[in-house]
Amino acid sequence: MSENIVVSKDHGALRLLINRPEKKNALDRAMYRALIATLEAAAGDDAVGAVVFAGAGGNFTSGNDLADFRDFAADAETFPALTFIRAAAAFEKPLVAAVTGDAIGIGTTLLFHCDLVYASPDARFRMPFIDLALPPEGAASLLVPMRFGMAKASQYLLLGDGFDGEEALRLGLVNRVEPKEAVLDLAMDAARRLAAKPAEALRAARRLMRGDPRDILARIDAEAALFAQALTSPEARERFAAFFASRSP
């Protein structure tokens, strides 16, 4: 397990706190493995009725630690980020998110696999894949047009524009917008309410609402194959080199 993923339980609500505030909660391989292991354990734990994703230090997550992408092309099928988003997509219990600050890349695409999302007005959502010369991931190419409509999907996936909590509410990505100090309590309360409901009826309702998860998993895999190819392209290498150069002292 990673010390950067803090796990706690409250009346059937399992909280997964992304705790790397000095990197705006960027997710590295160890953190993904911890999240995967926790979801696997929660799936078989009758004492867990719902899972809450949250971030420490004022941000949800700034997305993947870009240094890890150097290894993705050589190991795409077992890359922890891919395994994690597949696990979230296939998870049979309710997923809830509390979003403040940055929710970048997978920080946004993860939310399409959640049942309930609560955010602060100043939350910052962005899916900048194409700016890095990469295709979308996490089934975003399927789920964003379904949720937002094609016009808004083009704005936020193709142009890569960012949007705030109020726009996320209008788009149907989040359920409610509240001051940032109230967001986690709101998400935990919703998760506790879900955990108190009849478990089998809740799972059945989710399955009926979401449809066959194989379609989403197939899209995740199709995107991942293109993602791995794109990482070796001259465009992507140039963009990543520029990024790392900008971070050098």
For the record, the structure tokens of 241 come out as 């080199």
User: Is the distance from CB of 64 to CB of 81 less than 8 angstroms?
Assistant: yes
42 vs 51: CA distance, rounded Å:
8
Model pLDDT, residue 184: 98
Model pLDDT, residue 68: 72
> Hey, what CATH topology would domain 5-181 get?
2-enoyl-CoA Hydratase; Chain A, domain 1 (3.90.226)
Angle, helix 234-247 to helix 213-231, in steps of 10 degrees: 80
> Three-state SS for 18?
strand
Model pLDDT, residue 178: 98
Residues 6+ positions from 58 with CB-CB distance below 8 Å: 21, 100, 101, 180
Model pLDDT, residue 79: 76
Q: Can you give the length of the chain in residues?
A: 249
Question: Dihedral through CA 75, CA 76, CA 81, CA 86, nearest 10?
Answer: -130
pTM of the model: 0.93
215 vs 138: CA distance, rounded Å:
12
Model pLDDT, residue 15: 98
60 vs 64: CA distance, rounded Å:
12
Residue (of 147, 129, 149) closest to 235 by Cα position: 129
3 vs 72: CA distance, rounded Å:
23
Residue by residue, pLDDT tens for the chain (249 residues) are: 579 999 999 999 999 999 999 999 999 999 999 999 999 999 999 999 999 999 999 999 999 987 776 665 555 556 789 999 999 999 999 999 999 999 999 999 999 999 999 999 999 999 999 998 999 999 999 999 999 999 999 999 999 999 999 999 999 999 999 999 999 999 999 999 999 999 999 999 999 999 999 999 999 999 999 988 888 888 877 877 776 666 545
185 vs 98: CA distance, rounded Å:
9
For the record, the structure tokens of 167 come out as 């726009």
Model pLDDT, residue 76: 55
